[in-house]
Amino acid sequence: MRRRDLLCAAAGTLALPAVARRSTAQPAYEPLGRIPLDGVTEVVVGDDGRTAFLAATTGFGVVDLSDPKNPRVLADRRGLLADRENGPLTDIRDAKLDGDRLIVVGPANPGAGLNAMVLYDVSDPASPKRVAVHETDYAIHNAFLTDGRAYLSQFDGETVGMTIVDIANDDPERVGRWSILDEPNWGGIPLFPATVHDIWVQDGIAYIAHWDAGTWLVDVRDPSNPTAITRIGGLAPDELASLSGEALRRAQLVPPGNSHYVTVDEDAAVMGVGVESWAVEGEGGPGGITLWDIESPQNPEELATIDAPPTPAPSYGGLWTTAHNFDLADGRLYSSWYRGGVKIHDVSDPANPEEIATWRRTEDTSFWATVLAVPGEFFVGCSWNQYGELPQADLYTFPDRAGPVPESTTEATTDRNAATANGSTPATTGSADGAETASNETTNGESAGAGPGFGVPAAIGGVGLAAWRYLRQNDESKKR
């Protein structure tokens, strides 16, 4: 199989050839529906794809997708664990589902108060019932839930790793832990560029996005004794250990490394690794998604890289179009790219991914996650408010089909209520009921977190100035 180099180049530097695109005529590609939900970030769906569960910064929500053109809020819970010391739980950026059990975790970044995994019975999606709380002494940026075990990212400023918690009988109990710091030669690395950012677990293997330490595959069949299988990409331990000052800050923004999100297909034959990165003084740029053949986990083979959408401002303070969370399912890749919108790629031949649909509205959407809901019918995508840059956060539904793919998707529709393909506007109607405390907060979803990748220091600054200038110039040009 042929290989492609990872593209994380800033504008003006050498880039790989774009992936293949279909040229056959297709109907206009637009969202099916939309529903606002304050602070929404991550989304997962139930087994039948008709119910979505969403992390929402100050709580979580449940949305009925039985009619994807008219999604409806079933539950909106806020103020989780408000009655506990240092509560409520805040900076909630992840939720995971396994059957009728949902975990909601936080805070995503250290220093936000109470740290916990909250377990819910969601057999009645409209009335989630809290059944257990597992408090920790570390922040939980992301998690995974499968086969009665929760896998929690661990970061407390003193250590990094993954904790395994058995949730059998709704009685959470820690049963194992893995840390890169316990691996030979890795004990002396700085922590911030080597955080566990995201975790995917399937068939006894944990796939761990470890930022500048690369992507790790860990055998977790025996949760009491997790064993590293291999590492893909990233910096070597001696390179990480040598970083300090400006070099350390820079390393967290530009590749190599920046392993942000990882998932595998149904057979665990193909793995996707998303790189979240930016440009610093002309070096680096928005990261893409690299596909790997992992049929032999000990000998992974790079297949192809899907480049990030273009941006006129590739720095951290600019207009983000770097890869974020995505889904590999049914021979397709459903991807989110912040202000770069959402895309579908046909990856039935993963060495030659083909972009078959894209939708981007730069001015007022920033997509955090995409997940296939019902194959052949629709997928869902969460647009967050990007630390208050955007007026609201929404869950969108999109048709699971090919659409016209323009040569450039830098420009985008500006009318938030633009008509969909069938002539209607995306649905925004929703009703909320049931609450841990009712959804009566006025927060806009902001948090004091250190950024999308919590290895990225908060001191880097805001996201808005360059983006604001670009969008204003774009808007003014359209008025002329």
Q: What is the dihedral of CA 344, 345, 347, 352, to 10 degrees?
A: 180
Which residue in this structure is represented by tokens 């297949």?
A: 303
Measured in degrees and rounded to the nearest 5, phi and psi for residue 170 equal 55, 35
pLDDT score at 405: 87
pLDDT score at 418: 34
Nearest partner of 360 among 385, 381, 343, 380, judged by Cα? 343
pLDDT score at 25: 60
Enumerate residue ranges in the chain where pLDDT < 70: 1-26, 408-480
3-state SS class at 428: coil
Find the helix or strand (DSSP H, E) in which 300 lies. Answer: none
3-state SS class at 241: helix
- Using the Cα atoms of residue 54, residue 58, residue 59 and residue 65 in order, give the sign of their dihedral: negative
pLDDT score at 388: 86
Strands (E), 156-300: 160-166, 173-178, 198-202, 205-209, 215-219, 227-232, 259-264, 270-275, 279-280, 283-284, 289-293
pLDDT score at 390: 92
pLDDT score at 436: 56
Q: What is the pLDDT of residues 69-111, one digit of tens each?
A: 999 999 999 999 999 999 999 999 999 999 999 999 999 999 8
As a whole number of angstroms, the distance between CA 325 and CA 14 comes to 26
Cα 127 from chain centre: 26
Q: From the CB of residue 79, how many other CB atoms can be counted at a distance below 10 Å? A: 19
Structure token digits, residue 151 = 């896998």
Tell me the CA distances in angstroms from 16 to 7, 20, 214, 304, one per residue in order. 7, 12, 21, 10
pLDDT score at 92: 97
Instruction: Please say whether the beta carbons of 198 and 142 come within 8 A.
Output: yes
pLDDT score at 387: 87
Strands lying side by side in the sheet with 326-329:
20-21, 354-359, 342-346, 332-336, 326-329
User: Is residue 171 exposed (0-12), middle (13-18) or buried (19+ Cβ within 10 Å)?
Assistant: exposed
